[in-house]
Structure 1
Amino acid sequence: MKNDHRSVTRRSSAPVSVSRPVSSPIHTSVVYRSTDADELDSQYEGRLKGYTYSREGHPNATIIAEKIDWLEGVKPEWGGGVVTGSGMAAVSTMLLGLLEKGDHIVAGDQLYGRSLRLMTDDLLRLGFEVDLADPTDAAAVKAAIRPETKLILVETVSNPTLRVADMAGIAAAAKAAGILLAVDNTFTTPRGWKPFENGADIVIHSLTKLLSGHSDSMLGYVAARDAAMNKALYDAAVTWGFTPSPFDCWLAERGIATFELRYDRAEATAARLADALGGMKGVKRVLYPGRADHPDHNRAGDLLKGRFGNMVSFTLDGGREVVNRFLRAAEHIPFAPTLGDVGTTLSHPASSSHRALAAERRAAIGIEEGFIRVSVGIEDPDQLIGEIEAAVAASRA
């Protein structure tokens, strides 16, 4: 048989098998072939299911999106959520897909640092208007609503100060005004709280964090409780190029298989760590919603039903040098601007997530120079507490 080079370069079908893989394959193809133009029309017009160009969707993105849809309680008639290349891409997809120039947004004043920058800087350049309000005070959020307000954006539990939003009051205010309520549920996760069951219209996640859980994939997710809005979100993500990597989606699917086990273990350890920190010399403040001294403890109990999460924040008694001594002494716990990893990580918001904010602005929301955020992992609790206790002691030397 004569060797036909074209038959080798153009062969793209998988070998035939009556069995199926247990683990999802990674679909790296950028393009997908169709039989003819009529079949391609049928795909674009929704009569047939299929893929065309990976910026418009690929199998690995579909798989992970369906898993998050299930966790968040997205109903089939809503059309399903959209996976993006990062958590910030998910926030941007929502804004660019659902709002237009001149629209007004009310945002929580204790959002993730980059979300705050987006609200107070970049969106203004694009013709949006934004007011910040304290999400723990529903009356303040309600007072910030204007006739041209289209959206409220809050985090259930704020990053990194762990303040708990008055979600019932905010949802009521949004409904009364006829505006959209978007909730960034990254910290809480659907294991801790389900926004769609409590009045939210849009749910956002950084899948990079707890849901994926291994600091090796960067993804975001956004979904709405309306099919037309989800189509608008999809169109925005495709047009602006917020496409997720197939490999990252595949890694996230692997990680999400153990999500609930990791979350439960880390949450239990976080509660123990918070109590231990409360008794350490050199620690002047501990923030954990499960502690009675947390400013929103009663609301957290009502809202979260005992699921207080894996995040703990505390303030060392001192400035940058004390922080540096602590971080150097905690040499076995990574100091890294991330959270939700399978292992515990330490973050210093003043020099990472919230460094773009002026010191006065950080202080106003409770982020002092000595502020440390801990994302608790699944290590042995006694070993973790011992390491942090030794590092706190070293910071006072």
Structure 2
Amino acid sequence: MSEHESLVRRMAWPETVSRAVGTPIQPSVVYASPDPDTLDAQYEGRASGYTYAREGHPNADVLARKLDQLEGARDGLVLGSGMAAVAAVLMGLTRAGDHVLGGDQLYGRSLRLMREDLPRLGIATSLADPTDAAAFLAAIRPETKLILLEVVSNPTLRVADMEAIIAGAKARGVLVVVDNTFTTPRGYVPFDHGADVVVHSVTKMLAGHSDATLGYVAAGDAGHHKAIYDFAVTVGLTPSPFDCWLAERGLYSFELRYDRAEANAAALADHIAGLPGVTRVLYPTRPDHPDHNRAVALLGARGGHMVSFEIAGGRAAANRLTQAAPNIAFAPTLGDIGTTLSHPASSSHRALGVEGRAALGITEGFFRVSVGVEEIGMLCSEFETAIRAAV
């Protein structure tokens, strides 16, 4: 064999009596099996092994098992993004003629999927207010297959009446899908309350560093799991091994980050509420929150790491505020280790139009803050400077 011929052969992984402390990254697209019989055994579940990365790979499985521990789940799937997880559930579990009911304050892209894409495929959709359980349950139809809820809505931080809705849905044989991105399993564990499927944008608080784009979905029923998995594999919602590795590393500090950010959020909400020109502050455990009693009953003291507020002055004031806060990233994301600021009217909910946003209480002066782990005195000072400059 010539020198050049040997270069194209893969080298065997070095054998060692020690083990890596950090998880290795395995970027391989394909995995070699010794013979067709072994490959059959893998596909038929009689042997454990990987075949093609679109069908699963080690870094995704390592991350999924950690997320399973947090959510009290089994065999969860890591996918390429949070919206990949939402789409895999909706497309994997429904068919033409079904109806899907969603909360009326879902994430903007979830709303678009409900309003634009599912109807094109013959799947009817509608939205209802999940803070009003009676009205929400009244919107269930005979053909309703599932409901999609967020415990705490984006971006107005309204708290759904989860207990009543889940009980009502169960009585009607309707599946309950919970997007747990905002609350995270640190604040709420949907399976403990009767949910059938849980989804996450791992991109956000779980990974925590704005450098990995991933989603997660877990189903309590094996048949539902298979339907979701088959759709995800067929359309290629494959997660990057490197992103999985980054997210796993982020999880090691998740509880520490969440608790610090949550404490900061509660303090920042109180500080902003006392500033001139602020017309509203929304934080679930504040006594003036419209769903305060429900939030405390459902989440206890876990108000989360998100704060929303509104200032007077419209778009001009909004521009002044962001320009006066150069050290706070103005970016349409959440869950970073550092504080980020977003303006739903120009980002996540821009597609709803002025009237659609107004119906949800989203004005040009409305901001959403994903609070990070910085020193709280510094955060309060920066927001006070920015708000005073704006109003």
Do structure 1's residue 287 and structure 2's residue 282 form an aligned pair?
yes
Instruction: Give the gaps of 5 or more residues in structure 2.
Output: none
State the Cα distance separating 1:116 from its structure 2 match.
0.6
Indicate the SS of the match to 1:339: coil
- For residues 222-237 of structure 1, the aligned pairs below 5 Å read 222-237=217-232
Do structure 1's residue 320 and structure 2's residue 319 form an aligned pair?
no
| Alpha-carbon separation, structure 2, partners of 1:7 and 1:33 | 18
| Alpha-carbon separation, structure 2, partners of 1:148 and 1:310 | 37
Equivalent of 2:265, from 257, 270, 273?
270
State the Cα distance separating 1:17 from its structure 2 match.
1.0
Equivalent of 1:197, from 175, 180, 192?
192
State the Cα distance separating 1:6 from its structure 2 match.
3.6
State the Cα distance separating 1:231 from its structure 2 match.
1.6
Equivalent of 1:89, from 84, 99, 110?
84
Structure 1 window deviating more from structure 2 (243-252 vs 232-241): it is 232-241
RMSD: 0.9
| Alpha-carbon separation, structure 1, partners of 2:110 and 2:202 | 16
Indicate the SS of the match to 1:187: coil
| Alpha-carbon separation, structure 1, partners of 2:11 and 2:352 | 51
State the Cα distance separating 1:4 from its structure 2 match.
5.0
2:125 aligns with: 130
State the Cα distance separating 1:393 from its structure 2 match.
0.5
Structure 1 stretches of 4+ moved >4 Å? none
Indicate the SS of the match to 2:284: coil
Equivalent of 1:182, from 154, 177, 182?
177
2:151 aligns with: 156
2:20 aligns with: 21
2:140 aligns with: 145
Indicate the SS of the match to 1:313: strand
Instruction: Give the gaps of 5 or more residues in structure 1.
Output: none
* 2:43 counterpart letter in structure 1: Y
2:36 aligns with: 37
* 1:182 counterpart letter in structure 2: V
1:298 aligns with: 293
| Alpha-carbon separation, structure 2, partners of 1:155 and 1:11 | 47
Cα deviations by residue, 1:261-318 (Å, 9 ceiling, x for unpaired):
0000000000000000110001010000010000000000000011110000000111
| Alpha-carbon separation, structure 2, partners of 1:285 and 1:233 | 40
1:308 aligns with: 303
1:365 aligns with: 360
Indicate the SS of the match to 1:357: helix
Cα deviations by residue, 1:87-106 (Å, 9 ceiling, x for unpaired):
00000000111111111011
Do structure 1's residue 46 and structure 2's residue 41 form an aligned pair?
no
| Alpha-carbon separation, structure 2, partners of 1:110 and 1:371 | 15
Indicate the SS of the match to 1:29: coil
* 1:248 counterpart letter in structure 2: D
| Alpha-carbon separation, structure 1, partners of 2:5 and 2:124 | 56
Name the TM-score, length of structure 1 as normaliser: 0.97
| Alpha-carbon separation, structure 1, partners of 2:148 and 2:378 | 38
| Alpha-carbon separation, structure 2, partners of 1:111 and 1:285 | 21
Indicate the SS of the match to 2:164: helix
Equivalent of 2:95, from 100, 103, 108?
100
| Alpha-carbon separation, structure 2, partners of 1:234 and 1:114 | 21
| Alpha-carbon separation, structure 2, partners of 1:217 and 1:6 | 37
| Alpha-carbon separation, structure 1, partners of 2:9 and 2:232 | 30
Cα deviations by residue, 1:213-261 (Å, 9 ceiling, x for unpaired):
0000000011111112112111111001100000000000000110000
Name the TM-score, length of structure 2 as normaliser: 0.99
1:390 aligns with: 385
Equivalent of 2:347, from 345, 352, 362?
352
Cα deviations by residue, 1:53-109 (Å, 9 ceiling, x for unpaired):
10111000000010101100014xxxx111110000000000111111111011000
- Distance 1:96-1:12 versus aligned 2 partners, 3 A rule: farther
Equivalent of 1:333, from 328, 333, 339?
328
